[in-house]
Structure formats: C-alpha cells, structure tokens
Structure 1
Amino acid sequence: MPQSLRPVSAECSFPSITNIHSFSLDTHTIKVLSKRTRTPHFFAPLGNDDYFKSFGIPETHIHMMDWWDSKRIEVSPTSGEPHKVKVDITCTPAQHFTGRSLFDRFKTLWASWAVEEVRDAGDPGVNVFFAGDTGYRAVLDGQEEDKVPVCPVFKEIGETFGEFDFAMIPIG
C-alpha cells in the first residue's frame, strides 16, 4: 500500500535540479522549500531562470549554471549551529534531454552535479555526485548494448573530480 511521505524537517541548503521534467522537478516541493525561514540556494541548468523566479525565490538564491561552471557557497548545517560549511557545486554534463511539455523540448539545459566540501588545506572534504536523470549509453531498438559506446562524460567527470565518497546514480 503506498504511503504518504511526512514533511521533511531537515534543512535543505541547496536543491540541485537536473532537468525540468515534471517527474524530476516537483513544483509543490519547490514552493514548500522556497517558503522556509531560510530560503535555500536553488541550482539548476541554464535556461530555467523564469521558472524559479515564478515561485518568488529571490534572485540571489537562484543559480543557473552551464556545464563545468562552479560556484562556492557557505551554508550552516542547521539553524542553531554557528559554523558554516563551504561547498563547491559544479554543474556537470549528463546524457539526457529536457522539457516540461511538447513545446519546450531542448529549450533548457540538463545536468548532473558534483558537490565538494571545502576544508582547510590538506584535509580532504566529502565529495558527492548526483547523476540525476541520465543514461550510461543510448541503446536504440535493435542495437546490441555491448556494441554501443558509453557516454564519455562520465569518464571525464571521474578524471576531473577523482573518487566520490557518495554517488546517487539512476538504475533503469
């Protein structure tokens, strides 16, 4: 029997959107997050500015990025803690497409994300990869999977960032 999810009580400092398909970007969730006491920083691929502005999110908290663009932000882990954590967020390529309807396909970019915790020199931080809605290779009907080349961006991401401590990768 399907269960409703309880409202999330934890802070969400930087939601990272991979594309604007309706099943990848839930408008209700964006509205709820944007109304919190501490508005999170929203990261999304290029071309989605107007969509996020339509929710009344301050422009200072909307970050539209191209592949390989990086931005450093400082966030407090929770409301009551005085220290801040620095993270570098990099928009990385993915193999996908985008659009919310038949009329806006390929009007905005799609992406994956690499998040690196920034610590003092010599102290490695935690690195996370969010592959989002992507495919390892595009196999068309009638093709043998093992004969289709894999998308080269994943190797490039690995060479650029090294090993990740945690990776969120779709399986399908």
Structure 2
Amino acid sequence: MPSLPGSPPSAPPPATARRFANTDPGVVIGNFPWYEMLWRSLRGDFKPRSAPAGGYAAFAQQWSAPVDHARLAERHDAPVVTWLGHVSMLLQVAGLNILIDPTLADFAGPLGRFGAARRVPAPLTPEQLPRIDVVLVSHNHYDHLCYATLRRLHAAGQAPRFVVPQGLGAWFVKRGMGPVTEMDWWEHTDIAPGVRVHFTPSQHWSRRSLADTNATLWGGFLLEWTRPHAAAPWRFLFPGDTGYSGDFKAIRQRLGAVDFLALPIGAYLPRDFMKPMHVNPDDAVQLMLDVQARQAMGVHWGTFMLTQEAFDHPPRDLAVALTARGIPPERVWLLRQGETRAIPLHG
C-alpha cells in the first residue's frame, strides 16, 4: 500500500490512465448521458418528493442531539461511535480517533456551497472535532469527500493520516493534506499496533468532474482491532456507498463476521436509477445478514436532499424489512445526529 509523499508529484498520471470497474463486470455505473441526467433532474429524481411528517424543522429537532464534547475529548479503548449526519461518523477505539467520510458543510457539492442542501444542521463544526488520528474516505463523491470540511479541519491545525482508494491520493497531496495511504480492494494497512484497516469492494462508481468518471476507486473499510486476551479480533465495517452485490458475502468469507456495521439505509429512490449504486432498506438488511453483523447502525439517510424518498421513509422501510425477516428492530440502531453511543464488546 503506497504512501504518498507530503509534496505534489512532479507529473501526476492523467485521469484517463485507468478506469475502475465493479467486481461484477456487467454492472457499469457512471456513464450517464447528459440528457438523461437533465431529464431526471427536471423530473425531480434528485430531491425528496415530499417533506417529512411535520416538516423539516420538526424532523431536525427529532433527529438531533447535543454533542457531548467532553466525552469526545476522551481517548476510548472500547469502541464508541458518534453519528455526525449522513455517512459521517467518528469512531473512537483502541485509543484512536477515526473520522469517516466527513461532510459537515451546508451543501454536498463543490466547496460546500453548491449541490444538495443539508436540512439537518451539522451537529458540530470541523473546529470542534477532537484530535483526529486517521481519516477514512471511501470515494470522491461530494457527499463523502467534502473539501470545505477538510479545509477547515486542516486550518484548525489537524494533520491526520488519510486512507483513501487508489487514484485519490493526489487530490489530498495537491491540497497539502497528508500523509496519505492509497489502497486497492483487499489491501490492508496498520494504523496503530493491533489496529488494521482493510479496503473492501463495493458496487458503486466515482466522479468529481465531467472528465474523471471512474478514474478513482471506491469501496469500504473493515477495521480489525486485535484485543489482548480476546478470542477473536473486533471487526467494524463501513461498506461505503453500494448497491447490493456478492461483495458482502466475499467480505465475510475473507475477513470474518462483523461485530459492528455502519449500514446505509437511505438515498434509494427512484429505484430504476439508484438500485445498482445504493441499497434500499430491504437490500441493506440482506447486506447485514451477508456479513453476519452482530450489531448495526443506520447511516446515509435523513441529512441531504439527494433522492426522491422523504427523509422519514428510510426508518419506516427499514422496520418493514426487519419485520419481514423476523429480526428485532434493536439490531439496527437509529442514532440521532450528534449522538454518541458505546458499542458493546463480546468475547
């Protein structure tokens, strides 16, 4: 797993040097004709068709919690998770502070000032984050890689290590952020003694401009913490953005059952467009079963105006999917944005 130096390369490879693909070669995502995207945008495919019950202000109040800054300032050995909205989360484990896909701006788009609007205020600012050791970035879409957030984190004096997919490291180096480690699927890197991060496949795509479709990789992260005297490592999986695929049974087979799963449950309508790239709640429950997750928490919902379903539909559809399989609802936590919760350890 190559680590990129702290200065820009003299001759970065052109964006057209390589185009990445999903594990299923028949699933090609990203080459959308401009006229289809225009038609879908005019039709309203990329914003909710209705507000949540009671309106956005009531939803934000219901699904927000005050941040316990004193708790975040502590170093935790046993795992503690804080949901920061959408897919952004702070995982504190083994004495490390690990920030995942941080997107704290008011918009998911260029510079945090354009794009999909945020309707639930970010629970904290980048300057209020505790000292971050590692930032994991799953892919380059604006709702996962937010330059406005990272720029402010950097300006606040933070200098974490970044772990990113292949092809994305130069983006960080160009902006003076690092060190950076790039990874291909199934590669791993150790971020501390006894803490290993694997980069895992997902079914998705990448693009940040008109000319770089699938020029950088996408995926998820499985963190493995080897605890002293424990029978097996503790495993956390952040699958990234993904449609349902055979990748998750492969993750379970190659890396073991998952103890805690960040489960994407939103941004799934209209299904004819979103199905290859985003699981719906029913697919998400199957993903959870595929990796044999002991516990999960719902992410990728209720924050940005990205897709057709109302903000309050993912929890409702998740409840239906869990009931259909006889799975108790507490198997998937639904945290409020800003809420911190300790993750039970077993074994």
Q: Which range, TM-score by smaller chain?
A: 0.7 to 0.9
2:195 matches 1:87:
yes
The residue that corresponds to 2:217 in the other structure is 109
Pick one of 230, 246, 253 that aligns with 1:159: 253
> Which sits farther off after the overlay, 41-50 or 117-126?
117-126
Greater RCO, CA 8 A, separation 6+ = 2
- % identical equivalent positions: 29
Deviation at residue 169 of structure 1 after TM alignment = 1.9
* Bigger Rg, structure 1 or 2: 2
Closer, same or farther: CA 38–23 of 1 in aligned 2, 3 Å: closer
Matches within 5 A, 1:23-42: 23-37=143-157, 39-42=159-162
Aligned partner (choices 252, 258, 264) of residue 170 of structure 1: 264
Where do residues 69-148 of structure 1 align in structure 2 (5 Å cutoff)? 69-74=187-192, 86-120=194-228, 122-136=230-244
8 Å Cα contact 1:33/1:40 also seen in 2: no
Amino acid at match of 1:69: E
- What secondary structure sits across from 1:56 in the alignment? coil
Aligned residues: 146
CA distance in 1 between counterparts of 2:181 and 2:152 reads 18
Shift of 1:124: 3.2
Kept in 2: contact 1:17–1:43 (CA 8 A): yes
**Deviations 1:78-104, CA, capped at 9 Å, x for gaps:** xxxxxxx63100111010000112211
**Do the aligned partners of 1:128 and 1:165 also contact (CA within 8 Å) in 2?**
yes
Alpha-carbon shift at residue 73 of structure 1 (Å): 1.6
Which amino acid in 2 is paired with 1:98?
Answer: S
Query: Alignment partner of 1:15: what SS?
Result: strand
Unmatched 5+ stretches in structure 2: 1-56, 58-119, 269-347
SS of residue in 1 equivalent to 2:254: helix
94-103 or 112-121, which deviates more: 112-121
Distance 1:12 1:98, change over 3 A: same
Alignment partner of 1:169: what SS? strand
Deviation at residue 15 of structure 1 after TM alignment:
1.5
Match status 1:20 vs 2:114: no
Q: Deviations over 1:2-23 (max 9, x none)?
A: 4343224333322211110112
CA contact (8 A) 1:70 1:89 kept: yes
Report the residue type matching 1:56 in the other structure. G
Structure 2 CA distance for partners of 1:41 and 1:86, relative to 1, 3 Å: farther
Task: Report the AA paired with residue 108 of structure 1.
Answer: T
User: When you count helix as a share of all residues, which structure comes out higher?
Assistant: 2
Residue 154 of structure 1: how far off its partner (Å):
0.7
Secondary structure of 2:151 counterpart: helix
Counterpart of 1:64?
182
Instruction: Name the TM-score, length of structure 2 as normaliser.
Output: 0.39
In 2, Cα distance between equivalents of 1:107 and 1:38: 28
The amino acid of 1:155's aligned partner reads K
SS class of match (1:167): strand
> What does residue 170 of structure 2 align with?
50
